Chain A
Amino acid sequence: AQSVSQHNHHVILSEAASLELGCNYSYGGTVNLFWYVQYPGQHLQLLLKYFSGDPLVKGIKGFEAEFIKSKFSFNLRKPSVQWSDTAEYFCAVNNQAGTALIFGKGTTLSVSS
Chain B
Amino acid sequence: SQTIHQWPATLVQPVGSPLSLECTVEGTSNPNLYWYRQAAGRGLQLLFYSVGIGQISSEVPQNLSASRPQDRQFILSSKKLLLSDSGFYLCAWSFTGGIGNTIYFGEGSWLTVV
Residue ranges of A at the interface with B (Cβ–Cβ < 8 Å)? 6, 32, 34, 43-46, 49-52, 90, 92, 94, 96, 98-106
- Asked if A101 and B103 sit within 8 Å, CB to CB, the answer is yes
Nearest-Cβ distance from residue A46 to partner chain B, whole angstroms: 5
Give Cα distance in the complex from A108 to B70, angstroms.
37
Give Cα distance in the complex from A92 to B90, angstroms.
15
The answer to whether the Cβ of B12 comes within 8 Å of any Cβ in the partner chain is no
Number of interface residues of B (CB under 8 A): 26
Q: A32-B99, A34-B102, A44-B105 are in contact. Are A100 and B46 (CB under 8 A)?
A: yes
Task: Find B98's partner among A6, A34, A46, A98 (CB 8 Å cutoff).
Answer: A98
- Asked if B99 and A103 sit within 8 Å, CB to CB, the answer is no
The answer to whether the Cβ of B85 comes within 8 Å of any Cβ in the partner chain is no
- Asked if A98 and B101 sit within 8 Å, CB to CB, the answer is yes
Residue ranges of B at the interface with A (Cβ–Cβ < 8 Å)? 32, 34, 36, 41-46, 49, 57, 59, 90, 94, 96-103, 105-108
- Asked if B97 and A98 sit within 8 Å, CB to CB, the answer is yes
Task: Knowing that A32-B100, A106-B43 touch, tell me 13 more A-B residue pairs with CB under 8 angstroms.
Answer: A43-B106, A44-B90, A49-B102, A52-B100, A90-B43, A96-B99, A98-B99, A98-B100, A99-B49, A100-B34, A103-B43, A103-B45, A104-B43
Give Cα distance in the complex from A32 to B59, angstroms.
19
Chain B residue at minimum C-beta to C-beta distance from A101: B103
- Asked if B101 and A94 sit within 8 Å, CB to CB, the answer is yes
A-chain residues with CB within 8 Å of residue B34 when the two chains form the complex: 100-101
